[in-house]
Amino acid sequence: MRDLDHQVITQALAWVRDGHPIWLCTVLSTYGSAPRGPGAMLVARRDGQYVGSLSGGCVEEAFLEELIVGDFDRMVTLRRYGESREESRRLALPCGGVLEVLIEHRAPDAAWLVHLEALYQALQGQRRLVRCVDVDVEAGAFLAREDDVAEGPCVVRRPASVDIRIGPVLRLLLAGLSPVAEACARFAQALGHEVIVCDPRPEMCEGFSVDRVTVVPQLPSAFIAAGGCHAATAVVALTHDPRIDDLAMIEAVRTEAFYIGVMGSRRTSDARATRLLRSGGLSQTDIDRIHMPVGLALGSKTPAEIALAVVADIVRVYHGKARDAL
């Protein structure tokens, strides 16, 4: 999941708690080129207020126009945008793209509030869920069940229902501050990732300023040991200070983090591996989980170039792409 979808559920909760009926939209499938993939969400009210994105602008406008004039009053509607040539041109969908969207009209009742709260907790990283929604029944029944599969498609269509996987927003945990770490924070934020920076040095925290990035003034290793990582977390140490970097690696390999990396030259990385094996209590299996040197080999020199290589490698691993497949 991305941070934008987290914003959708957060806003949906706020509106339902205030007693507003809402329309929750989810992209089920795309054909041709589409800016947003299956699972992307948008929430709206009848007055046209909305949060989220289905296509980057064009489909949202069409949906809101239809909503404001009174469409979508059924509990569940399946709407295909861009299916006709005329509509595809009007919506300016690229490459003849077609989007199928599930539109749920939900009243602000107790069952829906409980359901949204469960989705919110899933996006916060506490659990993985599958939303099951009936699409051929007037009542549009819904439920959430535990997701016991680590990987798989975001949306699964069935004859009379749809399963939508809900999981944590990708979290980037930056272990210590540096110019490279600040550039990483900006790149990751632009990608919609949750970014947390941990650094115990007051002078470093005071000089850091990136909007909507959480700064935790403590050792990264302490934050990690206290449960700061889930399975959608990338832990990256970029300080060149072994007192911060090494301790972060020691704790990170004990978690479910899908990506663990530390900055340094090949020589520095070899020395660190030896140090962690001899005095850090790590096994060779632990060492093999750590990307060191961190990032793709792009020939990076500047902090921004190094950060680009780091974030690109995180995205590569998150999507299961091998280096030789790039």
**At residue 20, what is the residue type?**
H
Nearest to 225 by CA among 193, 250, 199, 261: 250
Q: Write down the residue that tokens 């140090």 correspond to.
A: 275
Please state, as a whole number, how many other Cβ atoms lie within 10 Å of the Cβ of residue 308: 18
Q: Could you tell me the strand order of the sheet in which 129-134 lies?
A: 142-146, 129-134, 161-166, 155-157
22 bridge partner residues: 106
SS3 content of the chain, % helix, strand, coil (to 5): 35, 25, 40
Contact 277, 228 (CB under 8 A): no
Give dist(CA 117, CA 123) in Å, integer: 10
The β-bridge relationship of strands 129-134 and 142-146 is antiparallel
Give dist(CA 198, CA 185) in Å, integer: 12
DSSP-assigned states of every residue in 135-154: SSSTT--EEEEE---SS--S
CB burial of 206-234 (b: ≥16 within 10 Å; e: otherwise) equals eebebeebebbeebbbebbbeebbbebbb
Give the containing element (helix H, strand E) for 220. Answer: helix 220-225
Contact 123, 9 (CB under 8 A): yes
Contact 173, 224 (CB under 8 A): yes
Nearest to 215 by CA among 202, 199, 227: 199
Phi-psi region of 14 (alpha: psi -120 to 50; beta: other; left: phi over 0): alpha
Nearest to 238 by CA among 158, 165, 149, 309: 309
Contact 11, 43 (CB under 8 A): yes
Give dist(CA 13, CA 33) in Å, integer: 31
Q: Where are the domains of the chain?
A: 3-166, 171-325
Q: pLDDT by residue for the chain (326 residues), tens digit each?
A: 467 888 999 999 999 999 999 999 999 988 765 567 789 999 999 999 999 988 866 788 889 999 999 999 999 999 998 776 555 555 555 545 688 999 999 999 999 999 999 999 888 876 789 999 999 877 789 999 988 765 667 899 888 999 999 988 789 999 999 999 999 999 998 888 889 999 999 888 887 888 778 899 999 999 999 999 988 899 999 998 888 999 999 999 999 999 999 999 999 999 999 999 998 899 999 999 999 999 999 999 999 999 999 999 999 998 888 887 77
Assigned CATH for 171-325: 3.40.50.720
